[in-house]
Structure 1
């Protein structure tokens, strides 16, 4: 099994998910805020997604990391590299819990995990899939160097896809 890394940025610690993270994750997935991710989701579906995020580490060597504020041990959301039968390509994704948007946490966490993926995994490319109404996350993607790729296969019909290419 692949060891799940802990990544640190100036303000954040990206760490392995634990079962203690599930209640906040499930609450997010049950809320209207998850509508850009196909939600709201019932509790058993949220558990399946949470478990999949953890299992991807063993199956693919990457998965989800929880985003903690450094020095506070406050979990503000999740960032991950998704793959498997539901994703045409390896996807860089993120979500922030209510009250933690607008501080640059998604950009900071996404940049750290994207760099880790290109260096450690040797990936050539990553994508992010967005609901067309999710303009705030598309702006994060652009800050991360993502470029809209209308030729990429979407995860869900109507998705907007942004691509990140490995810097050489």
Structure 2
């Protein structure tokens, strides 16, 4: 995995890791009873703020010991809120996102801009399969924000949480990695499959009329799911019928397109053990594939390796 992309900058905001100097800024809104109304805890005091800040400073990424990421959100150098992301299962495939913002920052789209950036980070950097958001059902603002960043409402749990002296309803929103690639401007959307042999080599293909080696895969047909696209492309390109139940999601990645200069690529990447029983098994190219080559990730990567494959195989 590449080095952490922090600070993370959006059109108007800077998202960075927490620092000791953020104490007063956090207290200024977490200490507000109106802000704390729908949170799990009451308003913070100075002692609570110091404790919470120390915990957040340790949350530097999902790949850190804390398995969590806590970012403050700055507008022109001033902290206006924070966004958090954390892992919720042992495999690291599922996570949860949350946010809190100063009342003065409301009404300008800052929370939406920041939360959307962290949700994208969850899928494209950390490779999460699913991200959830849970909230008090009376928190209309957070529910609306979930909808704006593409999360779908999955249910209402009635009187399921005891909070501040009363049973409260909870809303559940979620987004899947496979939801994301459908609306990304001029990006090329594809599915790709990583096929390894018994020694860990990766099967790569070169399409006719191109010079770059990549994983088998391609663009989905209209209405086709990423999984169905991946299975179909491997069948067409290599005449291999993969067992659907063994197809595992690796993640959704954004990088440069290999064969269309200047355009971004968004790839839903899967792995499959179909060729893992022997070393460099013979695989015949079909359809538009002109050449097949096994790539050993332990050796220097050839110059003609596609950007997506470099991203996946670079430690």
TM range (shorter): 0.7 to 0.9
For the Cα contact (< 8 Å) 1:56–1:83, is it kept in 2?
no
| Residue 17 (str. 1) matches residue 18 (str. 2) | yes
- Count of residue pairs brought into register by the alignment: 161
| Residue 159 (str. 1) matches residue 165 (str. 2) | no
In structure 2, distance between residues paired with 1:79 and 1:68: 11
How far residue 16 of structure 1 moved from its aligned partner, in angstroms, is 1.2
Task: Work out which of the residue numbers 118, 122, 145 in structure 1 matches 2:127.
Answer: 122
For the Cα contact (< 8 Å) 1:64–1:78, is it kept in 2?
yes
Which 10-residue stretch deviates more, 2-11 or 132-141? 2-11
Q: Provide the residue aligned with 1:54 in structure 2.
A: 57
| Structure with the bigger percentage of helix | 1
How far residue 142 of structure 1 moved from its aligned partner, in angstroms, is 0.4
How far residue 141 of structure 1 moved from its aligned partner, in angstroms, is 0.6
Could you say which structure has the greater relative contact order, defined with CA pairs below 8 angstroms and 6 or more residues apart? 1
Unaligned 5+ segments in structure 2 are 163-168, 181-267, 269-315
In structure 1, distance between residues paired with 2:58 and 2:15: 17
Q: Quick check: which has more Rg, 1 or 2? A: 2
For the Cα contact (< 8 Å) 2:67–2:86, is it kept in 1?
no
Which 10-residue stretch deviates more, 41-50 or 138-147? 41-50
Partner of 2:82: helix, strand, or coil? strand
CA offsets 1:32-58 (integer angstroms, 9 cap, x no match): 111211222343333333333222323
In structure 1, distance between residues paired with 2:25 and 2:108: 19
Q: Provide the residue aligned with 1:76 in structure 2.
A: 80
In structure 1, distance between residues paired with 2:131 and 2:16: 20
Q: How does the TM-score come out when normalised to structure 1?
A: 0.83
Q: How does the TM-score come out when normalised to structure 2?
A: 0.46
Q: Provide the residue aligned with 2:140 in structure 1.
A: 135
Alignment CA distance shift 1:120-1:61 (3 Å): farther
In structure 2, distance between residues paired with 1:4 and 1:42: 32
CA offsets 1:76-101 (integer angstroms, 9 cap, x no match): 1111103469xxx6221111112111
In structure 2, distance between residues paired with 1:82 and 1:109: 16
Alignment CA distance shift 1:75-1:67 (3 Å): same
Alignment CA distance shift 1:3-1:62 (3 Å): farther
Unaligned 5+ segments in structure 1 are none
| Structure with the bigger percentage of strand | 2
